[in-house]
């Protein structure tokens, strides 16, 4: 029987879940370095050794193959993918429209910034226990709207739906390899897998470990760990709905973390009853059952304490099921994605209502954000002065350089005096 253990606020610790353990990291580094030094042959060796492919199996799908997968997909499945892609695209286009290039006058010239996309992106989509075409859409559509020129999807053992999702999302190619080996290939480049500027998308701990290792060579979105959902509910909340949402998160994997925060002891009891009932009829419910053992309920005395608990946890997903949503929202600071009200279920975020489902975990929402247009853009600053900046600026620059003992800097400023 699934029962959320009850904690008090004083017993609650901030989430600091290590996304990568040292043993996994060491193994991932070995695999990445093997691929880096051994090229395509090493990539194929690792892919066969780890069960991605069998000898001689096809791993490369070009744009024409992805378009064919779209054509061969049934109308119903194709329609779901196309509608979801369009919702993600619309949200990403809205984000891009908010990012403006900027220009300001400076003494003797102008300065500003511009937003420009990276040239290439590698989008990873898991293909293990569950294939995730939704992740293909989330990452690839967003990259394409950002203006990325070349987009490669990597997904081990891709299903026809995954291949079609890559086609619909606008990917240029897909490589049917996963794990640390493909992260290494996308970071450093091997025959058939060009090096990428940015690598994004969730994966298992070896994928995450490999992303940590290559992050000094390429950009990454984040180091995502097991999934998390915190639900803040009060007496007005529907226990059946909350239980369903917690189970949806728990079925991701046995390390998922479902949490309830509430001022109502009755709600805890009602949710526990609903969990037991709903889990008993869930197909393949063992994973969710195991994940519930990680979960707990935080029973607090006030709205202020409930908000404090949510902020302390800084979860990947935060649902709010309370009567005064406006007040609750004003108190919340740290979360990967926020879902307000009974209708705004986290599963709608997972499956493409618009906002991205690739989000920070393990408390990292305190300092990082989810995948978005910004993941694929660089903000570059510039300045322009056809003749020279004002004399006062030049003299201040030279003086500051000499305060730091950098005479060459000072002279490089002063050589411009009188050049108007």
Which residues are known catalytic residues? 316-317
Instruction: Report helix, strand or coil for 223.
Output: coil
DSSP code string of 173-193 = EEE---HHHHHHHHHH-BTTB
Residue 280's CB is within 10 A of a number of other CB atoms, namely 11
User: Quick check: 123 and 198 in contact, CB under 8 A?
Assistant: no
- Angle formed by the axes of helices 75-98 and 133-146, to 10°? 40
Strand extents, DSSP E, 70-119: 102-106, 109-117
| CB-count burial class (<10 Å; 0-12, 13-18, 19+) for 319 | buried
CA dist., res. 294 & res. 286, Å (int): 13
Residue 286's CB is within 10 A of a number of other CB atoms, namely 11
Task: Please identify which residue in the block is written with the tokens 């609903």.
Answer: 274
Backbone angles phi, psi at 268, to 5 degrees: -60, -45
Instruction: Report helix, strand or coil for 353.
Output: coil
Instruction: Report helix, strand or coil for 277.
Output: helix
In 3D, which of 147, 154, 104 has the Cα closest to residue 124?
154
Bridge partners of 321, per DSSP, are 233
Task: Please identify which residue in the block is written with the tokens 């694929």.
Answer: 376
Instruction: Report helix, strand or coil for 101.
Output: coil
Find the helix or strand (DSSP H, E) in which 346 lies: helix 346-350
């Amino acid at each position: 029987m699934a029962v959320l253990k009850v904690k008090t606020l004083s017993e609650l610790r901030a989430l600091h879940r290590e996304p990568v353990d040292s043993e996994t990291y060491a193994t991932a580094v070995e695999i990445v370095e093997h691929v880096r030094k051994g090229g395509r042959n090493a990539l194929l060796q690792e892919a066969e050794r780890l069960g991605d492919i069998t000898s001689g199996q096809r791993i490369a799908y070009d744009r024409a193959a992805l378009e064919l997968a779209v054509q061969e997909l049934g109308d119903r499945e194709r329609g779901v993918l196309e509608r979801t892609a369009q919702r993600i695209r619309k949200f990403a286009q809205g984000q891009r429209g908010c990012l403006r290039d900027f220009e300001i006058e400076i003494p003797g010239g102008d300065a500003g910034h511009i937003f420009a996309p990276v040239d290439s992106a590698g989008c990873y989509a898991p293909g293990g226990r569950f294939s995730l075409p939704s992740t293909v859409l989330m990452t690839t559509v967003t990259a394409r709207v950002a203006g990325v020129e070349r987009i490669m999807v990597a997904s081990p053992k891709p299903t026809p739906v995954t291949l079609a999702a890559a086609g619909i999302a606008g990917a240029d190619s897909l490589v049917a390899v996963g794990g640390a080996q493909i992260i290494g290939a996308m970071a450093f480049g091997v025959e058939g897998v060009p090096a990428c500027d940015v690598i994004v998308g969730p994966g298992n701990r070896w994928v995450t470990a490999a992303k940590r290792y290559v992050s000094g060579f390429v950009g990454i979105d984040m180091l995502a760990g097991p999934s998390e959902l915190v639900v803040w509910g009060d007496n007005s909340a529907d226990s059946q709905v909350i239980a369903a949402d917690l189970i949806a998160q728990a079925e991701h994997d046995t390390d998922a973390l479902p949490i309830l925060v509430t001022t109502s002891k009755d709600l805890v009891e009602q949710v526990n009853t609903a969990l037991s009932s709903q889990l008993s009829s869930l197909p393949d419910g063992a994973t969710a059952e195991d994940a519930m053992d990680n979960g707990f309920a935080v029973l607090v005395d006030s709205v202020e304490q409930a908000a404090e608990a949510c902020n302390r946890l800084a979860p990947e997903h935060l649902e709010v099921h309370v009567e005064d949503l406006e007040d609750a929202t004003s108190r919340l600071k740290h979360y990967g994605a926020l879902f307000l009200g009974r209708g705004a279920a986290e599963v709608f975020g997972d499956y493409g209502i618009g906002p991205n489902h690739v989000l920070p975990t393990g408390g990292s929402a305190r300092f990082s954000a989810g995948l978005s247009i910004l993941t694929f853009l660089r903000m570059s600053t510039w300045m322009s002065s056809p003749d020279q900046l004002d004399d006062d600026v030049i003299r201040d620059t030279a003086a500051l350089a000499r305060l730091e003992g950098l005479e060459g800097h000072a002279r490089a400023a002063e050589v411009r005096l009188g050049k108007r």
